[in-house]
Amino acid sequence: MVLPEDIGAPLAMIADYSNAKSAATLAEAIGILMHQHAAHVDQFLTAGVSPARALLLARAPQMREVYTTTFSRLAVEHHIWIAAGSIPLAEVSLGDAHDVFNLAFLFAPDGHLAGLIPKVNLIELERTAGLDLTPGELREVNPLPTPLGVLGLLRLALLTGRFPR
């Protein structure tokens, strides 16, 4: 099963959707959520990261838990491979503690994480004027071996021709 990119992004609002749904813009929604989680967000703001990135870093543990638990359970329950779209998360194996990547996850039928691929070519919304994500490195995009064959998780921006490489 292949799910769409950014399917995990709304998890930044987990347990806060009723407060953020009235926002007219992304910036306004980020402001509402930052106020709700000020104690956690402030520690990242004082480290010099942008408000959007600070919010994602503060919400990352809850976002990761819900995302990985949900898709791992679904893979087991339905005995399928799941390319679980993507989610903006920190991943220390790819960068420093304040980097947030748009990550695609692949879950095996037994529920284990079989692969993790960062998005290399970010769209405008994902860059510094938006979510302030960190682009992955092309060398981190590798085929993933499965019993079905070798699998590649290509991302939309890689296919659109907007980013020559």
Of 126, 142, 116, the residue nearest 56 (C-alpha):
126
Give whole-number Cα distances, 23 to 16, 87, 125, 148, in Å. 12, 21, 17, 44
What are the residue ranges in the chain where pLDDT is below 50? 157-160, 163
Whether residue 106 contacts residue 82, with contact meaning beta carbons closer than 8 Å, is answered with yes
Of 56, 53, 70, 42, the residue nearest 9 (C-alpha):
56
Within a domain: residue 165? Answer: no
pTM confidence score: 0.85
Within a domain: residue 164? Answer: no
Within a domain: residue 17? Answer: yes
Domain interval for residue 23: 2-159
pLDDT at 130: 85
pLDDT at 157: 45
Q: Write out the two tokens for 155.
A: 């991302």
> Looking at the 3D structure of the chain, how many domains does it have?
1
Tens digits of residue pLDDT in 14-54:
888 888 888 888 788 888 888 888 988 999 999 999 999 99
pLDDT at 159: 47
Rounded CA Rg of the chain: 16
Within a domain: residue 20? Answer: yes
Within a domain: residue 28? Answer: yes
